[in-house]
Amino acid sequence: MTQALSTMLENMPPSFVSGGSADGRSDSASPRSGQLGMAAVPELIRRTKETSQKLLLSYVAKQGTRLSKMLRYSIETTDWREVSGGPREVREAYVLVYDEIISIATDSATLFDVRLQQSPLRARKGTALVPDSAKASGSGSAAGSEWGSSASVGLQLDMDKLFAKKLALDEGVKFEVESVMLAVLRVALKTLCEVVRTQTFSKYGFQQLQVDAAFLSAAIAVFVKETKVLDAMLDEVVSSAHERCVDPAPVDQAIAEAIVSSRCQARVDSQRRRDSML
């Protein structure tokens, strides 16, 4: 540690190390004379931490922007008013988003020199499929199911959204894969919600978005254990689409879960085949 600090101090301006003037004059010894300017170490550590945090936030912003562009493109290149027929599969764009999430998580683990921890890709029952209004009223084909039919569900969602907004403002990003992924996904989901609010959805366009959001929810849970904030943001995405739908009718729970489960399994099988060929 001392050797590392010595090397860093030797490359700092004399005025910073010794506390003297810009021309290097000081009462204390220069590190080049063989003595470590220990008085400067706390300030050096502070600046190093500050710089590393800025670099981390820059990394998060860059990765979040990459993911945001993919999600924005997936929405803006579809005419949601013209979607006809109920959803039959998760759109390929969201499989590519999942691949990008894997890439970001892998890069982060390499950056932090840690082993990448992940959960299986699988459908999350009842997540990100029903808008707030349907949950609160029990409307739609999911009425009476475990998706919820009381006003308390809507109240809890409102609390979760407030928590999400507070966390985005106050919570710092840590040098951990899950912390980075949480921050990156917050950036991406904020963009997704914003772009969804600019669209108009048909009944089946809205249902397709629900299915895509359910798959995205499954993808998020692979690398993030504490998904409360991201779930609240996905709920906001679906609620925004519901408000912009000309004939809102939530997709059937069983159909949506079957579609997402099938896509998850297909993606897992594909990855196994690729791994076996390596």
Q: What is the pLDDT of residues 180-202, one digit of tens each?
A: 999 999 999 999 999 999 999 99
CA distance 133 to 250: 10
Residue 160 pLDDT > 80? no
- Give the lowest-confidence range in 67-76, 88-97, 119-128, 203-212: 119-128
Residue 47 pLDDT > 60? yes
Which one, of 94, 228, 127, 109, lies nearest residue 168 by Cα?
228
Residue 239 pLDDT > 60? yes
pLDDT for the residue 153: 46
Residue 15 pLDDT > 60? no
Of all helices (H) and strands (E), which one includes residue 34?
A: none
**Between 34 and 268, whose confidence is greater?**
268
Contact in structure between 87 and 229 (CB atoms under 8 Å): no
Mean pLDDT, all residues of the chain = 79
- pLDDT tens, position by position, 134-151: 554 444 433 333 333 333
Residue 166 pLDDT > 80? no
- In terms of Cβ atoms closer than 10 Å to its own Cβ (0-12, 13-18, 19+), residue 256 is buried
Of all helices (H) and strands (E), which one includes residue 5?
A: helix 2-10
Predicted confidence band at 44 (pLDDT cuts at 50, 70, 90)?
Answer: confident
Of all helices (H) and strands (E), which one includes residue 275?
A: helix 253-276
Predicted confidence band at 32 (pLDDT cuts at 50, 70, 90)?
Answer: very low
Q: pTM for this structure?
A: 0.76
pLDDT for the residue 261: 95
Q: Could you tell me the CA-to-CA distances from 10 to 27, 41, 45, 48, 49 in Å, in that order? A: 17, 12, 15, 15, 19
Predicted confidence band at 40 (pLDDT cuts at 50, 70, 90)?
Answer: confident
**Between 125 and 240, whose confidence is greater?**
240
Six-digit token string for 222: 């692979």
Predicted confidence band at 225 (pLDDT cuts at 50, 70, 90)?
Answer: very high
- Give the lowest-confidence range in 84-88, 123-127, 209-213, 220-224: 123-127
Predicted confidence band at 62 (pLDDT cuts at 50, 70, 90)?
Answer: very high
